[in-house]
């Protein structure tokens, strides 16, 4: 059972132990049916209720957290979930699955994905085989393809050249 980080507790909410959390997954719809959360030590918590707090946040009521004092102990705690329990479309994937992929440009390995920087346009951060970091945006026009079983991301040099930039 593979687990990934899904929430970070921001603060207690109210007096009955509810937690305000930042959603680290792809929005409320992807996490609204979760039933079990885990802390970094693997201890499980039963979700009684989860509601949208909008703007990338949610309010969570856990069976094991019943007072505001209990909730205070969870401030800044990360919660993990079973990866398979997160709702996502078939053509969606996790950033964790992309990190570490070899970047193959026209058949040659040019680097390895270090991170995906999320913003208006997500950016791939790549450790180049030359030793320099370089970046390129996640654009539909690049026709990026993934082979997760082979741990590879494919893109053409022709399309990449116009959008790739390097650190000096």
Alpha helix ranges (H) inside the chain: 68-72, 95-98, 157-160
3-class DSSP assignment, residue 126: strand
What's the burial of 49, exposed, middle or buried (CB within 10 Å: 0-12/13-18/19+)? Answer: exposed
In this structure, is residue 88 part of a structural domain? no
Residues 102 and 71 in one domain: no
Q: How far apart are CA 20 and CA 89, in angstroms?
A: 26
Q: 127 and 73 in one domain? A: no
Regarding whether 148 and 116 lie in a shared domain, the answer is yes
Question: What pLDDT does 114 receive?
Answer: 97
Q: Which among 38, 53, 83 is the end of a domain?
A: 83
Question: How many angstroms separate the CA atoms of 25 and 164, rounded?
Answer: 27
**Residue position matching structure tokens 């791939």:** 124
- pLDDT per residue of the chain (168 residues) written in tens, 0 to 9: 789 999 999 999 999 999 999 999 888 999 999 999 999 999 999 999 999 999 999 999 999 999 999 999 999 999 999 998 998 877 788 888 899 999 999 999 999 999 999 888 899 999 999 899 999 999 999 999 999 999 999 999 999 988 998 876
Q: How far apart are CA 66 and CA 64, in angstroms?
A: 6
The domain tally of the chain equals 2
Same domain, 41 and 101: no
Residue 17 is assigned to a structural domain of this protein: yes
In this structure, are 136 and 106 located in the same domain? yes
Strands 123-128 and 44-52: unpaired
- On whether the CB atoms of residues 112 and 100 are closer than 8 A, the answer is yes
Q: Are the C-beta atoms of residues 24 and 8 closer than 8 Å to each other?
A: yes
3-state helix, strand, coil in the chain (%, to 5): 15, 45, 45
pLDDT of residue 166: 87
**Residue 148 CA: distances (Å) to CA of 45, 92, 94:** 31, 12, 11
Same domain, 23 and 79: yes
Q: Give the residue numbers spanning the domain of 124.
A: 95-166
> Is there a domain that residue 55 lies in?
yes
Collapsing DSSP to helix, strand or coil, 153 comes out as strand
pLDDT value for 168: 64
- Shared domain for 11 and 70, answered yes or no, is yes
Q: Within this chain, do residues 99 and 151 fall inside the same structural domain, yes or no? A: yes
Residues 8 and 75 placed together within one structural domain of the fold: yes
In this predicted structure, what is the pLDDT of residue 25? 85
């Amino acid at each position: 059972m593979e687990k990934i980080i899904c929430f970070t507790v921001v603060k207690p909410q109210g007096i009955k132990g509810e937690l305000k959390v930042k959603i680290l997954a792809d929005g409320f719809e992807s996490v609204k049916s979760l039933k079990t959360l885990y802390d970094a030590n693997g201890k499980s918590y039963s979700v009684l209720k989860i509601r949208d707090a909008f703007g990338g946040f949610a309010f969570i009521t856990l069976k094991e957290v019943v007072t505001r004092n209990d909730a205070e102990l969870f401030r800044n705690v990360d919660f993990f979930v079973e990866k398979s329990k997160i709702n996502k479309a078939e053509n969606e994937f996790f950033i964790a699955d992309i990190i570490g992929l070899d970047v193959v440009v026209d058949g040659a390995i040019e680097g390895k994905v270090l991170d995906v920087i999320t913003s208006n346009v997500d950016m791939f951060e790549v450790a180049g085989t030359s030793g320099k970091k370089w970046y390129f945006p996640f654009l539909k026009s690049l026709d990026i393809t993934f082979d997760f079983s082979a741990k590879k991301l494919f893109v053409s040099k022709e399309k990449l050249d116009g959008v790739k930039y390097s650190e000096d």
